[in-house]
Amino acid sequence: MINATKKWIFLKASSIVLVPLMAWFVINLVSIYDKDYVDIVNFFSTQPSKFLTSLLMIVAFFYSSLSISEIFEDYVYDEKIKNFANKALNIFAIIIPLFTIIIIFNLTL
């Protein structure tokens, strides 16, 4: 299996997982965004939202790094810039969800 095929399969698999997670998150976001500090910390620090938010971050950043790298592939001409952009994107897609998950698992009132 060539890399492009693997990438496509990962992109599609992550999008199947992402669709219900995004729907779940956006519905909950509307119900909590203007609530008090205690309510919001309670939301992110209790199950199942703790697990689902962490999963959303992992899958969403993974999916985005794959889809944005497709945009680089289509529109960036310079190989060096493209490689640098892809590396920066991958680092960003690992660090941001990792830090967020660490924060979520350390949130307490």
Partner 1 sequence: MNKENPLSPHIQIYSWNISSLISISHRVVGVVNIVILTLVCLWIALLLLGEANYEYIKFFLQSFFGKFLIVGIIWSFTFQILSEIRHLFWDFGYGFELKTSKISGLIVIFGSFVLTILIYLFGKGIF
Residues 6+ apart with CB under 8 A from 86: 69, 72
What's the closest the beta carbon of residue 34 comes to partner 1, in angstroms? 5
What's the closest the beta carbon of residue 68 comes to partner 1, in angstroms? 6
Task: Report the 3 state secondary structure along 62-102.
Answer: HHHHHHHHHHHHHHCCCHHHHHHHHHHHHHHHHHHHHHHHH
Q: Which residues bind partner 1 (CB under 8 A)?
A: 2, 12, 15-16, 18-19, 22-23, 25-31, 33-34, 36-38, 40-41, 44, 53, 56-57, 60-61, 64, 67-68, 71, 73-75, 77, 79, 96-97, 99-100, 103-104, 106-107
Q: What is the DSSP letter of 46?
A: S
What's the closest the beta carbon of residue 101 comes to partner 1, in angstroms? 10
